[in-house]
Structure 1
C-alpha cells in the first residue's frame, strides 16, 4: 500500500471517529452545568410526567440559554419560601450555561400551599416581576385543581415565550397576537380598497349648502346649551389573589425577580 493511500485511510478513520463522537461532545457542551431540571421531592408527578418535563425543559432551556427548573417540597424546614429558593440557588449553583447562571425557578410547597417563581441573571431581566405575575395568573388555577403536570408544562412554555420579548414590553399586549395582527392587516386592506373604489367613481361636489338660499332661509343660527352633568362612582373590586414576595437578594449576594401566590 502506497504512503499516500495510507495517509488517506488515516484521515478517513479520523473523520469517522469525529462524526461518531461529535454528537456526544456537542450534547455535553449544550448543558455542561445543568443536568437536572425537575426536583419533585413532593412526589407530585409520575415517572413518565417527570421524564416528559425534563425533556421539554432541556429543549426550551437551550433556546433561551436559561434553565427552567421545577422544585416541589412538603415543607421548607422553617424557612420562608423565598429564602428557601435563594439558598437553593446559592448552594446548588444552577444555571444552563454555567454555575450560578441563568435559571427561572418554579417552587411549590405543598404543606403551606405556596407557589413562587424567581428569575436570576438573564431571567431576572427577561422574566421580571410583572411577567412572573402573568405566568402565575395562568398556572395557579391548575395548581388549585391538582393538575400539576399541566401547570408545570405551562410554566416552562410561558417562561420560554415571555423571554423571547425584550424587557419592558408586555408579552400579553394585543399588538403581539397573531390574530390581532391579521385583523389589522385585513382592516388596512379593506380601507385601501374602499378608498380606491371611492375615488374611481368621481368626486361628489354636492353638500348641505348647495340648495340652501341664505337670503330667504329663516334659519339664523343654532347652538347647544349645557344643562347638567351626572357623575357616578363605582368601587373598584379588590384582587384577593394578588402576588407577594417579589424580587430580592440572596444571602450569597445574587439578585433575582420574583412573585408568589397561595393555591
Structure 2
C-alpha cells in the first residue's frame, strides 16, 4: 500500500513538472528566436518610430531569409556631406553584412537626408540578381513615397520588390517567355500545314479563265508631282535610369564589387 502511494505521489509530482515545463520551453524558444533576428534597419536619421523600425526589421529578416540575402535600410543625416555611393560602400565595408557570411550577400538602401538622395546597391548575390537596371526600377518605384515622406511605405515596397526580383536572375523570365512563344509558333505552323493539306489541292487558278492572247497592258503613264523634305530635331536623352537619377555600381575600398542606382527624391 505504501509503495502504491509512493508511486502515485511520484507520478503526481512528475505530471505537475511536465505541465509547467512546456510554457518555459516555449518562452526560451521565443527568446532565442528574437535574439537570432539581425539588425537590418539602421535609422540614424530618425525617420521611423521604434514600432515601425521593428516591424520593418522583422519583415526584412523574413523576406531576406527566403533569398539568402540581407535586405538592409540605412538612413543618415550625412552632416559631413559624403557622396551617397561612398556612404553605402563604407557601410558595407565597416558593418560586414551578409546573410551567408560577413561581407556576403546583401542589398543596401541608403537614404541621404542632407542631399535628399537615395542610393541602392547589391553585393554578391545581390549583384547577380539586382543589376543596375533592376535597381533603377526599384528606386523609381519608391521615390514618390520618399518625396511625400511616406518612409515606412517606401521601405516596405523596397523589401517586397527586392524579394520579387531575386526570385529569378535577370533574363530568365525573358527566356521562359521566348521559349513559350517559339513553342506556340511552331505548334501553330504545324496545325496550319495539316489544315492546308487536309483541304485537298486547288486546281483552278487565274490562268483557267485568262485569255493570254487578248490580255495585256493597255496604257502606262508616270506623273511627277513634287518632292517633300521634312526636318526633325533629334532630342538627346541625358536621363539615365529614370526620373532624377541613374544606374551605376562600383567597387568599395574593401574590394567588394556592387551594382548601383542613385537618384534624388
TM-score scaled to structure 1, two decimals?
0.70
Residue by residue, what CA displacement relative to the aligned partner does 1:31-55 show, whole Å, maximum 9, x if unpaired?
Answer: 96x6012122223234443333223
Aligned pairs (5 A) from 1:105-184: 105-167=108-170, 169=171
Residue by residue, what CA displacement relative to the aligned partner does 1:163-207 show, whole Å, maximum 9, x if unpaired?
Answer: 22224x286x59759xxx7x9999998888777766665554444
Secondary structure at 1:69 match in 2: strand
Secondary structure at 2:111 match in 1: strand
Question: Aligned partners of 1:111 and 1:188: how far apart in 2?
Answer: 57
Q: What's the C-alpha RMSD, in Å, of the aligned pairs?
A: 4.3
C-alpha contact 1:76 1:109 (8 A) present in aligned 2 = no
Question: Aligned partners of 1:205 and 1:138: how far apart in 2?
Answer: 62
CA deviation after TM superposition for structure 1 residue 212, in Å: 1.8
- Quote the residue 1:260 is aligned against: 262
C-alpha contact 2:108 2:121 (8 A) present in aligned 1 = yes
C-alpha contact 1:249 1:255 (8 A) present in aligned 2 = yes
- Quote the residue 1:3 is aligned against: none
Structure 2: tracts of 5 or more residues without a match: 1-17
C-alpha contact 1:38 1:50 (8 A) present in aligned 2 = yes
- Quote the residue 2:210 is aligned against: 212
Change (3 A) 1:68 1:118: same
**Number of residue pairs the alignment of both structures matches:** 236
Change (3 A) 1:124 1:221: farther
C-alpha contact 1:131 1:170 (8 A) present in aligned 2 = no
C-alpha contact 2:70 2:106 (8 A) present in aligned 1 = yes
Question: Aligned partners of 1:155 and 1:223: how far apart in 2?
Answer: 68
TM-score scaled to structure 2, two decimals?
0.69
CA deviation after TM superposition for structure 1 residue 259, in Å: 1.5
Question: Aligned partners of 1:223 and 1:47: how far apart in 2?
Answer: 85
- Quote the residue 1:98 is aligned against: 101
C-alpha contact 2:78 2:114 (8 A) present in aligned 1 = yes
Q: In the alignment, does 2:72 pair up with 1:53?
A: no
CA deviation after TM superposition for structure 1 residue 117, in Å: 0.3
CA deviation after TM superposition for structure 1 residue 103, in Å: 0.8
Q: In the alignment, does 2:76 pair up with 1:73?
A: yes
Question: Aligned partners of 1:60 and 1:239: how far apart in 2?
Answer: 36
Which entry has the higher C-alpha Rg, 1 or 2? Answer: 2
Residue by residue, what CA displacement relative to the aligned partner does 1:100-153 show, whole Å, maximum 9, x if unpaired?
Answer: 111100111122101000111221222122221122222222222322222212
C-alpha contact 1:76 1:84 (8 A) present in aligned 2 = no
Change (3 A) 1:215 1:70: same
Secondary structure at 2:245 match in 1: coil
- Quote the residue 1:5 is aligned against: none
